[in-house]
Amino acid sequence: MTEIKLPNFIKKQPVAMICALLCVGLAAATYLRRDAVAEANDVLAQKKTDGEHLSDNVTNASKLDEQFAAMTQATQAIEARLVQSDQSKLATNKQYFYKMEEETQTKLTELNQSGVATSAKNAAKTNFAGVVYSITVKGTYPQLLDFLRRIESGEHFSRVQGLKLTHDSGSENTPATAGSLSLNLDLELLGLP
């Protein structure tokens, strides 16, 4: 067999030679992996952000039950104030106005539910719709003002689309009184489609 002859320097200084080779190897590894350091820092920053996000989620999760209960209660309160737009609930919806007529001592001469308000062509689809009413009420100015205030602050969400207040001239059967006014009101009540 042939023996491998090592130079005398390697034989005399084996530790120094191993250290030199190790330094050259580490320098080559550092040079080749210099791009990986920047990537590793980016990954570390992302992991740190994710960890902080998870920590915040754990901290805030303790309040979720309370917030869910509050949202459920608010949703139920809103749904209780909605009117039904289908024809089967027409009598219930009109009863709201008849009750208001009795409380304000006015006279409802016309009450028509015109259906559901149509939204614009490009409008986003919503869970709610406006139920359109056309109302004519007769009474004195304070009575009509009370009627409007009750609609505004009533149990249903409402939006007045238009109103017209005129002096009531009466009819053949019922003559007009001195302070009698007629209120024509177009409004929407928020309801389920």
Q: Which pair of tokens denotes residue 125?
A: 């689809």
Q: Which residues contact 190 (CB under 8 A, 6 or more apart)?
A: 81, 82, 83, 128, 129, 130, 131, 156, 157, 158, 159
- The pLDDT tens digits of the residues spanning 118-173 come to 665 556 667 788 888 899 999 999 999 999 999 999 888 888 999 999 987 766 55
Task: For the chain, give the percent of residues with pLDDT over 70.
Answer: 81
- The pLDDT tens digits of the residues spanning 33-43 come to 777 777 888 88
pLDDT of 71 strictly over 90? yes
- The helix-helix angle for 34-61 and 14-32 (nearest 10°) equals 60
Radius of gyration of the chain (CA): 41
The dihedral through the CA atoms of 44, 47, 49, 52 has a sign that is negative
